[in-house]
Structure 1
């Protein structure tokens, strides 16, 4: 009986420590994302340190960008994430000493949470052994699937010596939906944290679909002097089976597209298909941020719309980009498409009437320019191609 009591105590303690670990992880994600965006702007911020208005103009896009990047990845209310990003940004921009102290505090909290969580796991295991829980439930064997929709399009570099090759290795494993994996990095190891950040930047810029389907996780690395072993544990918005179903569904949709369409007609076909077959719904039965929810449940939110549009247009042979930004005060996502050498904005979410009106398609956000979209959308314009005209 004592063993059972100890086990219950350890489970409760483990739950509390897990919450502490989650909070520390969220703070670390915010800290790293802000550092990455602040690093190239340090000199500009120093030049306008006595001009609050100019500082605000520089910092506001960073603040909004980090919010949009992390909101789908962390399990936090929007207001709490706002507060966390705001507090961490203020600490980082005060001065170098406060920035260093912030890094130490964030790292220390994470280490403390890991130590406490490890202690609870070890204690729980001891109690588990004492009470012989296997006699209650029997042995279990969990098999993790490791193949995925995009797996065949990625190759694992034979030797990983740069941030780009590290990004390629991450893309390889993430396209296979590998939940845990190890990468050996044999390049310069003097600042591996910076190398890792650059690898994530490369992944976001070159393989946005893989990047957006990941919902964060844990990483740790061991520097052996001449090389680094990186251990990753990641979570995803979809399963391997769902990715296979999406691949088959996308192929079928493109096969059903009328033969002989030009690129403009393909874009219109995809816009109409997504709008006519989807209702905007944050509370969808499947994860609303995924193409699976859009294509199989007919509901979802802007990220699901934009990723589905990206998949369909690329499968149809139209060059397409994914954009993250804001519409009004809300985080938002849409697409850029390239027709006849020029880029245009396409927002299938905002072309879909809300509340849903079956059979009705909007075109106010169909192949429009930067100038048109600026009326109610904002984004980091230097990060994406320029859309100079509305399509005529």
Structure 2
């Protein structure tokens, strides 16, 4: 693919060189003729009526035309680098064509304008070829295209690669994931893909990130983006705020490993899910006014308090660390926005809401199971979500 792109770019460069050269040649070789033609037409316009009256009087014609001839030679000679004798011959020939007859005058005008139009056309071809060659360098990673060396960042044993170039919404999502996994508060990304609507491209990138890396997606509480469309590429500037920092993220990773390490060995997947449900419920109290951000696993794991998003993210991290496939769901309940999990057991999906399994007000030592491995049909009694965005569950609750 890179070889084909190289050939294509060399063709563009060849087009630029040839068309640009022809345009310059036409422009400079025709410049003197254009100046002479315009000057003569302007002077002849002044004596048009007198010249018509002297149509059959050569002596009178000479009296009228000789001053024009000399004036044009004088004016044009000061503007061009050409021998005077050559210029005099050019002015004489052009003057004869213009006064000979209407057909000859028309042909002279067409010739001059045609050369100008051809020069302009070749210049346009050169500019288009130049733009195409420049755009090709953006996709090839040539100097000037601001491509970056591929880098990677790791969080919770998951590695995020920074693409060497960003040309699709997915690659834009990958670049966002890389920077967010490092808790970069400000960063820039150059997008070189084709995009008629970059706002839509950004939406698709954020959707990809949410669908594939929900933990990283939820690290940020929002921010601002600004982009500049340069025609062949877009520069995106991002400024984000986070609910925790990279040191707290490392502590979360260590705590997750500790919790799973203390889990009894040889548990079935069902027993792992129950163990994690019980751990989260028994060690957490629902509290919006927590010491750390209540939306984070850090608040759940280290302060023992938080809200549904913190519950669901913590449950997700623990389940994945235990080797159980799980997902994070964002939906609604009667009181507003809510979050919980989907868990896959024996090839089927089930809902797990550790927040609603935790009694409120908090009752230490008590664990609820009303929302433990239930079906869509059961959960739809008091939860709503975009069903099409998530896998369908088993028809009945887990038995």
C-alpha contact (below 8 Å) 1:163/1:198 kept by paired residues: yes
* Cα shift at 1:186: 0.8
C-alpha distance in 2 between matches for 1:332 and 1:339? 23
* Cα shift at 1:151: 8.1
* Cα shift at 1:150: 4.5
C-alpha contact (below 8 Å) 2:188/2:235 kept by paired residues: yes
Q: Secondary structure at the match of 1:254?
A: helix
Q: State whether structure 2 residue 312 is matched by structure 1 residue 306.
A: yes
Q: State whether structure 2 residue 180 is matched by structure 1 residue 174.
A: yes
Q: Which residue of 2 aligns with 1:142?
A: none
Q: Which residue of 2 aligns with 1:284?
A: 290
| Ranges in structure 2 where 5+ consecutive residues have no aligned partner | 1-151
C-alpha contact (below 8 Å) 2:153/2:159 kept by paired residues: no
Q: Please list, as runs of the form range in 1=range in 2, the aligned pairs for 1:143-182 lying within 5 A after superposition.
A: 149-150=155-156, 153-182=159-188
Higher RCO (CA 8 Å, separation ≥ 6 residues): 1
Q: Secondary structure at the match of 1:345?
A: strand
Alignment match of 1:269 (pick from 275, 282, 286): 275
C-alpha distance in 2 between matches for 1:381 and 1:189? 30
C-alpha distance in 2 between matches for 1:316 and 1:281? 26
Q: Which residue of 1 aligns with 2:337?
A: 331
Q: Which residue of 2 aligns with 1:118?
A: none
Q: Which residue of 2 aligns with 1:242?
A: 248
Q: State whether structure 2 residue 260 is matched by structure 1 residue 260.
A: no
C-alpha distance in 1 between matches for 2:195 and 2:380? 43
Q: State whether structure 2 residue 349 is matched by structure 1 residue 349.
A: no
Instruction: Give the total of aligned pairs.
Output: 247
Q: Which residue of 2 aligns with 1:390?
A: 397
Cα deviation digits, residues 330-382 of structure 1 (max 9, x gap):
21110000001100000000100111111110101000001111111111111
Q: Secondary structure at the match of 2:223?
A: strand
**Largest Rg, 1 or 2:** 2
Alignment match of 2:367 (pick from 358, 361, 365): 361
C-alpha distance in 2 between matches for 1:389 and 1:162? 40
Q: Secondary structure at the match of 1:155?
A: strand
Q: Secondary structure at the match of 2:218?
A: helix
C-alpha distance in 2 between matches for 1:187 and 1:172? 19
- State the TM-score, normalized to the length of structure 2: 0.60
C-alpha contact (below 8 Å) 1:148/1:177 kept by paired residues: no
C-alpha distance in 1 between matches for 2:326 and 2:181? 19
* Cα shift at 1:220: 1.0
